[in-house]
Amino acid sequence: MKCLKVPKQMANDIRKVMMEKSLIDLDLKIKRDSEFVYLPLISRVDFEKLRKLNMCQFLDDLKFEAQKRGPRSFMDFLKDSIESEKIQDIKKSFDIIGDVVILEIPEELYIHKYIIGKAALDFTKRKSVFMKKSEIKGITRTRELEFLAGEDQSETVHIEYGSRIMLDVKKVYFSPRLATERERVAQQVKDGEIIVDMFAGVGPFVVDIARQREVHIYAVDINPYAFSYLKHNIALNHIENKVSPLFGDVREVLKNKQITADRVIMNLPGTAYQFLDLALELISPGGILHYYEFASDYETPINRIKSSAKNRKVKILNKRHVKSRSPGVWHVGIDVQIE
Ligand SMILES: C[S@@+](CC[C@H](N)C(=O)[O-])C[C@H]1O[C@@H](n2cnc3c(N)ncnc32)[C@H](O)[C@@H]1O
C-alpha cells in the first residue's frame, strides 16, 4: 500500500494538505509509531508530484487496517434486513417537520418497523420518528401516528423560509411539502392587501405572508389545537398587528364580519369546493383566489370556480400540480382573478 511517512511534528499539517488534495485513502486507518506518522494514499497518487514535500518519505509496501465506519446512508442502515427498492420507497416517504420524522412503512415491513425507525433516527439525526397509521382524515385533516424511535415527543418547531411554526404533528395538519407553494403565494402579495386564509391551520401561509408584507390577514380554523398553535405562531413571529385569528367554522365565523378581501386562500383540497360560494362573496372585484383541490385534471376545479362565480368574469392566472396525492391524482393549485 502506498503511503507517506512523515515526522510526527509535521504530520497534522501535511495530512491537511493531502486531505485538501483528496490524496489520502479515507477507508484506511492512519498508522503511528513513536517518531513517524504513516498516511495511507489513494492508489492513483503520483509520487513524483509529491517529491517536493521534503522530509517526507514515500513507502510502497506498508499494510494498513481498514477504517471501522458507521453506515453513511439510510440504505447502509437497513440493507441487511430489507430490499433496496423498498428502502428507497420508505426514504421518499420521509416528512421532516422540525425535530420529527414521519415515514410510511408498507404493511409487509411492519415486522421491521422499529429497525426502520431507529435507522431513520440515526440517518436524519432528528429527535423523534413516527410512522403513519392512517390516511389524513376528518374535518381537522389529521392522521394517526405511531411512535417508533427517539423521544416520544410530537410537538416541535419547524422552520421554513425563515418562518417559525410550532405544532404537534399528532393534533394538527401540517405538510412541509407545501413550503414552496406557500412561498410562491407569499411572493404575489402586495403591501396593503386584506387577505382571508379560510383554512389557516397552524398558520404557515399566514406567517410567511405577514412576515414579508404590510397586510392584514383574517386567519380561520376549526381545529382548537391548530387555532391555539396559530395564535402561538403569530406571537412567535411577531406579526400580532397584522393578523386576526378567528376560531370556528369559516361559514359561521365570517358570517357577520363584512370583510372584503383582495386575496383568499383555500387550502382544504378535499372539500374546499363546498366553500367556493363564501370565497366568492368575500373577494373584491379584481381580487385573487388561491384555490386547491385533489383532482386528476384542471377542468374539474376550474369549472367549479366558474360556476360559483356566476356572472363574474374569471381569469385563470396559473394552474399547477402542487404535489402528488395518489397515482393520477394531484393536489392541484389554481390562481384566479375574479373581476
Ligand atoms: C389541509 S389543512 C391546511 C392548513 C394550512 N392552510 C396549511 O397549509 O398547513 C385544512 C385546515 O382547515 C381546517 N378546516 C376544515 N374545515 C374547516 C371549516 N369548515 N372552517 C374552518 N376551518 C376548517 C382544518 O382544521 C385544517 O387545519
Does domain 3-59 sit in CATH 3.40.50.1970? no
The second-level CATH assignment, the architecture, of 171-338 is: 3-Layer(aba) Sandwich (3.40)
pLDDT grade for 190, boundaries at 50, 70 and 90 = very high
Residues with CB under 6 A from ligand 1: 139-141, 173-174, 178, 199-201, 204-205, 220-223, 226, 249-250, 267-268
Percent of the chain with pLDDT over 70: 94
CA 85 to ligand 1 center in whole angstroms: 35
> What cell was used for 290?
388561491
CA 275 to ligand 1 center in whole angstroms: 12
- Predicted TM-score (pTM) of this structure: 0.80
> What cell was used for 199?
383554512
Lowest-pLDDT range, 60-69, 195-204, 231-240, 292-301? 60-69
pLDDT in tens, 219-270: 999 999 999 999 999 999 999 999 999 999 999 999 989 999 999 999 999 9
CA distance 234 to 145: 27
CA 331 to ligand 1 center in whole angstroms: 15
pLDDT grade for 51, boundaries at 50, 70 and 90 = low
Q: What are phi and psi of 112, to 5 degrees?
A: -100, 15
Q: Say which CATH superfamily domain 74-153 falls into.
A: Met-10+ protein-like domains (3.30.300.110)
Residues 275-311, buried b or exposed e (16+ Cβ, 10 A)? bbebbbebbeeebbbbbbbbbeebeebbebbbebbee
Which atom in ligand 1 lies closest to the alpha carbon of residue 250? 20
CA distance 118 to 163: 29
> What cell was used for 79?
440493507
* Location of C-alpha cell 477507508: 27
> What cell was used for 144?
394517526
Percent of the chain with pLDDT over 90: 70
Helix ranges restricted to H, 197-317: 204-212, 224-236, 250-254, 276-282, 299-309
Which atom in ligand 1 lies closest to the alpha carbon of residue 203? 5
Alpha carbons within 13 angstroms on the beta-carbon side of residue 181 total 23
CA 143 to ligand 1 center in whole angstroms: 14
pLDDT in tens, 126-168: 999 999 999 999 999 999 999 999 999 999 999 999 999 999 9
Report the run of H or E that residue 129 belongs to, with start and end: strand 128-132
pLDDT grade for 55, boundaries at 50, 70 and 90 = low
* For the chain, domain boundaries: 3-59, 74-153, 171-338
> What cell was used for 270?
378535499
pLDDT in tens, 73-87: 788 888 777 888 888
pLDDT at 54: 58
Q: Are strands 3-7 and 57-59 parallel, antiparallel or unpaired?
A: antiparallel
Domain 3-59 and domain 171-338, same fold? Reply is: no
CA 32 to ligand 1 center in whole angstroms: 63
pLDDT in tens, 5-49: 888 888 888 887 777 677 787 778 888 999 999 988 887 776 666
- The distance of Cα 137 from the centroid of its chain, to the nearest Å, equals 21
- The yes-or-no verdict on residue 71 having pLDDT over 70 is no
Tell me the average pLDDT across 279-285: 97
CA distance 152 to 99: 11
